[in-house]
Structure 1
Amino acid sequence: MDLVISTVSQGLLWALLAIGVYLTFRVLDIADLTVEGSFPLGAATAATLLTAGYHPIAAILTACVAGMLGGVVTGILCTKLKIPALLAGILTMIALYSVNLRIMGKANLPLLQQDTIFTIWQFSGLDKGMTTLVIGAIIVLIVAVLNYWFFGTEIGAAVRATGNNPHMIRANGINTDAMVVLGLLLSNGLVAMSGALVAQSNGFADVGMGVGTIVIGLASVIIGEVLFGTRSFKNCLISVILGSIVYRAVIAVVLQMGMPPNDLKLFTAILVAIALSLPLIQARFNTLRKAVKK
């Protein structure tokens, strides 16, 4: 039971990362590698503020703002300097590695003696695992509702339309460059918030904790879409959140089966490759089945 609670709570904390990746990968149709720098940026910012005596909520919100700034930098490189989106994300990610070291002052910053959002709000009668689960569920619910509301507004619809058909939305007088920057801002803000929460949950921030986060986010998005569907934007948000939990459950199962932790990145990459190829596999299977019937 403790393993189930820990898995679900971690899945909820990482769900913010998955939502952020979904906003760029599906909504904007951009493969944004900035997340590998903005995730540890959120962790570094929150950890530094906590060790300086700031309130955990202030640390999380500041981490979110820092991630937004990282997204804006990628957006400016992409839209104003006309650098390809993939390369712009890589450049920002590399720059943020040095920024994160500057913020923390060292490669690893422990939080074992610091109050976090999970200790100051520990509910009566609940252990740390259940408290993390409850707080994570509340935060993810608030973020999902706010995203659903925002992308139903005129500006949010313009961001979604920019990813679907930039030529059409540009013909309607919408500044697509501004929409791309806004989408990257929101995405990396959520990713940095996820990093801040994960750092507080794990009890440390590390400059290398962002390695592979883009693959984790993609795995959550793809698994959620395959298992739970994409009928509407609301359904997509729910699918991404559940996909993050399922991904964490899969990782927990393979670890229990004896897989070495060093092989997790390889396993995740294979899992994402299989998930991405499922539509093709399904189409070929259907074609083969129709041929057999004939």
Structure 2
Amino acid sequence: MTYATCSVSQIEKADAEEMTAHYARTLFPAIVEPLHRRGAISVEDRHYTIGSCSVWRGKCHSGMSVMLPGGPEAYGLYLPTAGKMLVDAAGRQLESEPGRGLVADMSSFRRLTFFEQRSHMGIAFEKAAMIRQLSTLLDAPVRSDLEFAGPVDLTSGRGMQIAALGNLIWQDLTAAGQQKSSASFSECLLQAMMIALLETVPHNYTPQLQGPASPAIPRQLKRAMEYMHVNAGADIKIVDIARETGTSVRSLQVAFQQFKNTTPLSYLREIRLQGARKALTESNRSRVVADIARDWGFSHMGRFAALYYQSFGEMPSETVRQAR
């Protein structure tokens, strides 16, 4: 259980160099410029971190442009209250203003433009957490990147629910004294927001989520799947999975066969292969195939190459070459 930590900043009439240094200290490397030549920048921000999520409210009084070499490995939700923001995201231009929220992969952000008097609430969910939640909803491994397709209409019924949930999350984090909730309650609210976004905002897995409901699976099986996703790169065995989920090896095998039509170790191997493939497509020359294979629990390189070829129709080295 992780309790929230808070940071507050208020900067008035700073120049571009001061703002660039501030971002490097508090968030991530960026180049900040005023919207108007020789203009000063004034911003205020309150930022909370809890578990795998960050929540903040910010206001840019002056307007500014923030250029990024690449944003954090997270999905960001922006709920605007005033003003306009533009985001250049790997060739796409995204827009957010009152009534029009935004959910996007923050690692694709290249430039953010905040216009005068822009204010919003933001929530960043680590990619791994969002993928785990999606996998739980699908009752299946997530085989490729999650890609949200559009804005959030905050004037629609579901959009207003998302905005209301955002306000509840903020009230929960900023409450003081006896009004303050437990960390577990705060984390449940953030999990509820992930589910709301996955079920409301269109993305490349929406058709699967909207398909026929799969049979309800036992709690122990869900726990086993979650444990495998979190510990896919570790040296775990079926007895470890059974112990973690409070069931016997035999019961676990029967549950996987009945509800997933596979074995526990085959399910784990599929998670590892998909993770290794994603890492290989994003690899650079400083990382070799063997290192990535070991990161994902494969110690025998020949066996890894054979399984990889069987699953994807190409050798791991071919994946790396194509990525480069």
TM-score bracket relative to the smaller structure: under 0.3
Q: Which has the higher helix share?
A: 1
TM-score between both structures, scaled by the size of structure 1:
0.23
Larger RCO (CA within 8 A; separation ≥ 6): 1
TM-score between both structures, scaled by the size of structure 2:
0.21
Q: Which has the higher strand share?
A: 2
Determine which structure has more spread, i.e. the larger CA radius of gyration. Answer: 2
